[in-house]
Every structure is written in C-alpha cells, then in structure tokens.
C-alpha cells in the first residue's frame, strides 16, 4: 500500500512538472515574438503584413486546432500525443530559428501553433488524470501559475534575447527544453485514453474549418475593415460551418465534443468566463505594451520588465487561488477575480493622461494581475470538474480553445476601439478608450461567474459519460 501511494505521488509530481513545462513553452510563444518585431523587420526585410502574420499565424492555428489536439489525445493516447505535440513544437522552433525569409518564419510559426494546440489541452488533461479530485484544484493552480509565467516572461525574454544576442535565439531556446520534456514525458507519465474508440473526422474538419473562419475575421478586420467582403464572408462561413458542426455532433456515434455538456451550468458558465477574461486580458496586453513603448518611451526590454508587476501575478497568486478554490469553491474566487481584473483596468484607464509616469500605473496593474490570477485556474478546474474524468480532455480542449479565441477577438476589438478614438494620431485618448472597454468586459464575466455552482458536483452527481468505455 505504501509503495503504491509513493508511486502515485511520484507520478503526480512528474506529471505536474512536465505538463506545466509544456504549457509554459506554448504560453511563452504566444507573446515572445512581440518585442522582436523590429528586429524581424530589419533582419528579414519583413513588411507590416508579414509582422502581423508572424504573431497571428501561431494564435490562429493554435485556437482552431485545440479541440482537435484534445480529440487526438483521447483517441491515440494522451501521453503519446503530448510527446508528439512537444516534438512538433520543438521542430517548428528549429525551423523558425533557421528561417531566412518572412514566409518561412510565418509557416514555422503556424506549425508551432499546431504543436501548442496539442500540448495546451493535454497538459491540463494529464494533470486531471494524475491527481484525485481533492488535490486537483491546487495542482491546476500551480499549472495556471506556470502557464501565466510563460505569458509574463514573453516580453522580458524576447526583449533580453533580441537586445543581447539575436532574434533567432528566442526560438533556439525552445529546442533543448522541448527535447527534455518530450524524453522525460515518454518515460515518466502514465498513458491514458478518452472513451472514444474512433476519431470523429467529420467533426474535426467541420469544427476546425468553422473556428478558422470565425477567427480569421477579427484577425483580418484591422487591416481590411469589419465591413469588408472578406471579413463578412468569413463570419458567415464560420457561422454556417459551426451550425453544420453542431448538427453533425448531435448525430455522430462518437462526437468530438458531446454537446450535452453545454447543458451543464458549470461547464457553460466557466467556459464563458475564460472567453470573456481573455478578451480583456490579451486585448489590454496588446494596448499596454504599446503604451509603455510609444507613450512612455521605454525600449522593448524596459517595457517587458515593467509589465512584470502585472503579468507575473499569475505565477505568484494562481497557486493561492487554487488553494482557496479547494477550500471555498470555484465561484467565490472566480467572482473576486473578475471584479479585481475589471477594477484594476478601470483604474489604469483613469490614470492614462499626458505626463503620466510609470509609478502611477503600478498599483492598478497589480490589482488587475491578481484578478487574472484568481480566474485562470478556477475556470479550468470548474470546467474539468463538470464532466466525467474520462472526458477531461474534451473539457480542457474546449476551455483552452475558447481562451485562445477570446484573445484573438480581444486584440481585434480593442484595436478597433483604439483606432476609432484617435489611434496613433491621438495616442493616449485611444489607449484610454480601449482600456475602458477592457475594464467593462469583466462585468459580463462577473455575471457568468455567478452562474458557476459554488461547489463542483459530487462524483455521483456528475454527468454520466457518453460512452461505456
């Protein structure tokens, strides 16, 4: 008995470390390129459209393939697929580091996004499988902190590497870490499968195409306009494809996404919370990064270091949020987090005016960062807890997919607000307007968080799995 318990603890520890490292790599590369854009422009002769796609190719592919990554893990083995995803990410990082032109770099970034789409949902699924329910909230809190550290470290790592070495090394640094994580995962993690004996290929194609069209619209809107034929056509196509996806999933023998889980208040509300949070979070990150460099005149590394008071909060607070959720339930912690995120960004918007110094922005950034930290792990835990354990991959894939899509929409919406209220011609006025929208969005998240049950359903009250095994 003691040896079995010791083995279980070792498995859980290895799973938490390796899954969190995989998530860290994928999260880091969401934003690490941002501070390298000027160097890419001069080093590769890239134009503005190339630079935009260097960022968007990763986010677009990652958002659209997240559910597919989770489904592949359920079908072919979560450990095996996680290792494959990490290796794909490492290989694509090598290709990005060796890129001699913008087109090659963009293609490598798209493949990186495909690897991240496998790693991110399966990292959460592996943790959910390795930890019992009573310890899962704390584990997910630590996972959330490490993932948040990846986002926080992105601007700093990118700025330091570009200024100290060269832009190539923001990709080279991924390679040894990816190889180590893949090798250790292959021997230290436990294999598990989802309940589906067959891959829902029509569902994968319809869902991926529908998400691609829906995400393509906000990515292209800042360039060609929201009323352009391209954007409106993408939105219409996305809606039609998602309708077809829903119709197919309702009658598929082994659906990729069992739609009945959306009848669960915990599942639907917690997913709505993370979608709204990332509209506010990634949209405001896009604006605040420019505020520090254009409005306050900081260099990329200087701006990245000053962002740490905001973006490093998940590393410090998310594990505490997991502990509090384990004691008091997800809903109260999530509610406090959404309120703090909105209040901090609203306070920040009020401070943005001509002559403002960094010192006046520190406190609101900390408040917003604490709020973000409380929501990130609790929403993930609430979603996973709302489904049977064998469908944790579906829950994690849905949650991370909506998170990434929310971030894409956040950048598009806040960029549109910024442009409509002065843009670069009246910079601070545009920034203030965009931050007001970022502060208002969490109010909708408060409503969604209130609908999350105060406590996760007991195992005997969870929804029955869709398949017998």
Rounded to 10°, the helix 102-130/78-98 angle is 160
User: What separation in angstroms does the CA of 290 have from each of 156, 366, 371, 415, 427?
Assistant: 14, 18, 22, 11, 10
What is the predicted pLDDT for the residue at 383?
83
Q: Are residues 74 and 197 in contact, defined by beta-carbon separation less than 8 angstroms?
A: no
3-state secondary structure of 334: helix
Question: What is the helix (H) or strand (E) element at residue 57, kind and residue range?
Answer: helix 48-76
What is the predicted pLDDT for the residue at 89?
93
Q: Are residues 58 and 120 in contact, defined by beta-carbon separation less than 8 angstroms?
A: no
- Token pair 């701006």 is found at 303
Measured distance CA(242)–CA(64) in Å, rounded: 12
Half-sphere exposure of 305 (CA within 13 A, CB side): 7
Helix intervals (H) in 195-228: 201-224
Measured distance CA(319)–CA(144) in Å, rounded: 7
pLDDT tens digits, 408-459? 788 778 888 888 888 778 888 889 999 999 999 998 888 888 888 766 554 4
Rounded to two decimals, the pTM is: 0.76
Residue 350 class from Cβ within 10 Å (0-12 exposed, 13-18 middle, 19+ buried)?
Answer: middle
What is the predicted pLDDT for the residue at 53?
75
3-state secondary structure of 357: coil
Q: In which residue ranges of the chain is pLDDT below 70? A: 1-8, 34-35, 37-38, 46-52, 133-134, 137, 144-145, 148-155, 158-159, 162-164, 195-199, 300, 390, 393, 454-469
What is the predicted pLDDT for the residue at 254?
73
Measured distance CA(297)–CA(300) in Å, rounded: 10
């Amino acid at each position: 008995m003691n040896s079995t318990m010791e083995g279980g603890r070792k498995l859980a520890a290895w799973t938490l470390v390796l899954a969190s490292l995989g998530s860290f790599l994928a999260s880091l590369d969401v934003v690490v390129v941002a501070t390298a854009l000027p160097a890419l422009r001069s080093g590769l002769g890239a134009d503005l459209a190339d630079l935009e796609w260097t960022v968007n190719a990763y986010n677009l592919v990652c958002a659209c393939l997240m559910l597919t990554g989770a489904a592949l893990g359920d079908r072919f083995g979560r450990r095996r697929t996680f290792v494959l995803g990490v290796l794909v990410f490492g290989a694509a990082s090598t290709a990005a580091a060796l890129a001699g032109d913008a087109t090659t770099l963009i293609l490598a970034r798209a493949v990186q996004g495909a690897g991240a789409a496998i790693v991110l949902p399966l990292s959460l699924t592996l943790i959910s499988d390795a930890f019992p329910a009573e310890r899962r909230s704390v584990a997910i809190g630590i996972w959330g902190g490490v993932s948040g550290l990846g986002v926080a470290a992105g601007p700093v790592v990118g700025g330091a590497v570009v200024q100290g070495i060269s832009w190539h090394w923001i990709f080279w640094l991924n390679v040894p870490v990816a190889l180590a994580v893949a090798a250790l995962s292959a021997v230290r993690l436990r294999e598990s499968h989802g309940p589906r004996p067959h891959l829902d290929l029509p569902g994968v194609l319809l869902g991926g195409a529908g998400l691609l069209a829906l995400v393509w619209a906000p990515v292209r809107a800042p360039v060609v306009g929201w009323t352009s034929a391209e954007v409106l056509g993408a939105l219409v196509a996305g809606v039609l494809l998602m309708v077809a996806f829903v119709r197919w999933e309702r009658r598929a023998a082994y659906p990729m996404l069992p739609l009945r889980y959306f009848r669960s208040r915990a599942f639907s509300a917690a997913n709505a919370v993370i979608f709204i949070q990332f509209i506010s979070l990634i949209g405001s990150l896009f604006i605040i990064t420019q505020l520090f460099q254009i409005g306050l005149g900081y260099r990329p590394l200087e701006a990245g270091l000053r962002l740490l008071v905001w973006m490093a909060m998940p590393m410090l607070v998310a594990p505490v949020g997991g502990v509090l959720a384990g004691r008091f339930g997800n809903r109260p912690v999530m509610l406090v987090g959404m309120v703090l995120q909105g209040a901090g960004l609203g306070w920040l918007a009020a401070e943005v005016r001509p002559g403002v110094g960094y010192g006046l922005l520190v406190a609101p950034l900390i408040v917003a960062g604490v709020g973000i930290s409380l929501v990130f792990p609790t929403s993930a835990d609430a979603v996973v807890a709302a489904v049977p354990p064998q469908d944790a991959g579906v829950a994690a894939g849905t949650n991370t997919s909506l998170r990434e899509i929310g971030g894409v929409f956040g950048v598009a919406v806040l960029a549109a607000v910024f442009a409509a209220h002065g843009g670069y011609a009246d910079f601070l006025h545009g920034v203030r307007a965009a931050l007001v929208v970022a502060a208002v969005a969490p109010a909708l998240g408060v409503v969604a968080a209130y609908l999350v049950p105060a406590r996760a359903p007991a195992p005997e009250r969870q929804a029955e799995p869709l398949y017998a095994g």
